[in-house]
Structure 1
Amino acid sequence: MTDDPALWSAIVIGALGTFVWRFLGVTIASRVRADSPLFVWIGCVAYAMVAGLMARVLLMPGGDIDLVSMGWRAAAFLVGFVTWFLTRKSVPLGLLGGVGAYAGIVAAGL
């Protein structure tokens, strides 16, 4: 185990930053109506951010993702989308389908 105070400080600060927001979420959750306009807007913004990130990775990849052609990246995206749709819009299963298809493409050397 290391005795580096900077490392321990970073771990403590990171944990506090995470747990403060979780605590606030648990505290406020019982007072927020899931169908309120603010909550619906937050959900829309979250979905828009995920869609923007997917579009960026698909159209303007960086790093090793750039080594795979646009056609194969689009194919993996479509596998993920179809998986998401067929599993009653399950985000984890859709993500697993897309990432699995991409991993298969990379493993095949395409």
Structure 2
Amino acid sequence: MFPDGTPDMQSLLEQAAIMQQQLIDAQAQLSEARIEGTAGGGAVKATVSGTGDLVGLIIDPSVCDPADVDMLADLVLAAVHDAAANAERLAAERMGELTGGLDDASAAPGQLGF
């Protein structure tokens, strides 16, 4: 800021460029992160990226009952939702570090679409 109270635009632009690069870096780290969620005491494990994409699913054969396919579907959904919630928490934490705790809707839980 200049002595007369006028903001130093060059300094503001430099700070904005630094924050933008930090955001890009954080988003890249999140896309590479792998977060697990489980259901049925670990019988079903879902893995999502930090951006919420489902990248893995492991199902213990003991829960594959042809007579109760609905239970298996429920377990898969629960594991995927658990993994997505864990990914959203991680994203909110990482973005919160960049914004200094500012109320930023882009980092709010629920923004990954799950």
In the superposition, the TM-score normalised over structure 2's length comes to: 0.31
Judging by fraction of residues, say which structure has more helix.
Answer: 1
Judging by fraction of residues, say which structure has more strand.
Answer: 2
Higher relative contact order (CA 8 A, sep 6+): 2
